[in-house]
Structure 1
């Protein structure tokens, strides 16, 4: 009996709702606002006078009769305006991302550090030439430098700022950034950076994939034209492969690498847990990487956060490539999936450098 009564009441209320909507649409003035207001009042009345079993169907029918663009919530008793077509909002967001103007990398499109890199052997030899010191004097100087760092207000503020930056920009923050900015954070230059304005690739000490012994990046780069590929994730490896594939077709690697043009790969694992897993998977990495690339493949298991800004490596998930000349200067750089224009620029610059003897 209650169901029949509720249904009858709902039907009567539905007829009153349609009549009210029709009268509101004939009324002069802002018809859309009046229609929405009348519809809301009527549907709230339906929600209060009908039984829960009939409420949902009655509200849906009233909304369908009104032809309104609004969605209603009977539990919260409120409504909010939403787009007619979901694809309109999606297309507008995609359009903003497509038309977003990418900036140049830091230093006006340049990369690297201003200091010329030196290997640890060269540094040790330079210190030996300056005169040998006793172990006591070295320890005394080390303690003195640490005390100076603890009492230096400027260095403490810089350390605090660095820790805050590490806390705010973790792996999850970098991953969420990709959904907003995509795989391109800055645009690559369309030509080669002049030698007098180019900066140096910093020296990084890693582990050789071939010998599992420590190797220094400067020793691999000096005297050759190198396409250096840096990645730390499978997502980034796909990016670097889009540059390496056309490069290796033109300048293939051999086991006895006597060519002046080479490929150097750097696998960076900053997370200690992930670094431990990669250490255990080195035999598997050797099987997946061609043998002719083992000698120039480096694994680095420490953080390089002090080099991310100079190299414009803001996101660890992306892959980065740098073209380094025979003097360890970075003449061009790119990141993310390669475009046709970037591949063309890369091959042209390598050809020019090879004709000039690497400079």
Structure 2
């Protein structure tokens, strides 16, 4: 009985001492109100949403929705259906009044120098002389390595036909959108090992200018209505950078004939 009484007397003291210790700990380590990760994330997104540009956010949402509707498997499915020939090439030249401008894109040569395409007569560039502005430019776009043979089917006959023309340019643009490959050290290393003109190649007036464009090209593709990234896209531009002819995929004899005749017409335009 005596032992039980002593236990009852000691227990409250210990609990009181325990409460005092807890109180001291709270003073030293003040309590931080906890919230679930989902609540923190949503409120943070809300703050960014309120602070950011709502129009830009809406555009980004539309972009995500657009890109989710397209993908590698959708491109592959189309390639199996038509082999990259997403449409027929123009049979005749597009009239100047109906032609649209080719969007500006910055490209890099393998030596690291950069250039903005297209080169046009309405550009305010003091470094450009009249002889630097071509009357006709063939711009071949390749987003994946699989489309390079398609580009070659257009560029080689074009190069052979207009090899001695000083008023024609030929650009083969390869797009690199990988985040890692666009980082400056990797980009410089990549450009060093890129394709260069072979020493034994014939030095004609018209040269294949192989260039590369790094980074995000979504809005560039959007302007040109490019969806399938596995095929090649060919554009013939006039001296003002307007699209006067376009083709896709592998060239056919009739389409090549159309391209060459339209180029000749551009060279004759005043």
Please tell me the TM-score bracket, short chain as reference.
0.5 to 0.7
Other-structure match for 2:142:
231
Q: TM-score, normalised by structure 1?
A: 0.51
Closer, same or farther: CA 193–180 of 1 in aligned 2, 3 Å: same
Q: How many residues align?
A: 206
1:213 aligns with 2:124: no
Other-structure match for 2:31:
none
Aligned 8 A contact 1:270 1:301 in 2: yes
Other-structure match for 2:223:
310
Closer, same or farther: CA 177–272 of 1 in aligned 2, 3 Å: farther
Shift of 1:291: 8.4
1:352 aligns with 2:252: no
Q: TM-score, normalised by structure 2?
A: 0.66
Closer, same or farther: CA 173–274 of 1 in aligned 2, 3 Å: farther
Shift of 1:259: 0.4
Shift of 1:340: 1.3
Which string of whole-angstrom CA distances, capped at 9 and with x for unpartnered residues, describes residues 173-197 of structure 1?
A: 3223322343111222210001111
Coordinate RMSD, CA, aligned: 3.1
Give the structure, 1 or 2, with the largest relative contact order (CA under 8 Å, sep 6 or more). Answer: 2
Which string of whole-angstrom CA distances, capped at 9 and with x for unpartnered residues, describes residues 134-160 of structure 1?
A: xxxxxxxxxxxx9898353x5533321
Closer, same or farther: CA 287–251 of 1 in aligned 2, 3 Å: closer
Q: List 4+ stretches of structure 1 deviating above 4 A.
A: 146-149, 273-279, 287-295
Closer, same or farther: CA 179–270 of 1 in aligned 2, 3 Å: same
1:150 aligns with 2:52: yes
Other-structure match for 2:161:
250
- Cα distance in 2 for partners of 1:272, 1:262 equals 30
- Cα distance in 1 for partners of 2:177, 2:109 equals 17
Aligned with 1:267 (options 161, 170, 174): 174
For residue 296 of structure 1, give the secondary structure of its aligned residue in structure 2. Answer: strand
Other-structure match for 2:98:
197
For residue 317 of structure 1, give the secondary structure of its aligned residue in structure 2. Answer: coil
Aligned with 2:83 (options 163, 166, 182): 182
Shift of 1:227: 0.8
Other-structure match for 1:296:
209
Closer, same or farther: CA 171–273 of 1 in aligned 2, 3 Å: farther
Query: Could you say which structure has the higher helix fraction?
Result: 1
Shift of 1:282: 3.6
- Cα distance in 1 for partners of 2:169, 2:239 equals 11
Aligned with 1:342 (options 251, 255, 266): 255
Alignment of 1:93-172 (within 5 A): 150=52, 152=54, 155-172=56-73
Closer, same or farther: CA 180–220 of 1 in aligned 2, 3 Å: same
- Cα distance in 2 for partners of 1:151, 1:353 equals 44
Gaps of 5+ in 2: 1-47, 124-132
Closer, same or farther: CA 287–272 of 1 in aligned 2, 3 Å: farther
For residue 52 of structure 2, give the secondary structure of its aligned residue in structure 1. Answer: helix
Shift of 1:316: 1.1
Gaps of 5+ in 1: 1-145
Closer, same or farther: CA 157–189 of 1 in aligned 2, 3 Å: same
Other-structure match for 1:73:
none
Aligned with 1:285 (options 195, 206, 215): 195
Aligned 8 A contact 2:105 2:118 in 1: yes
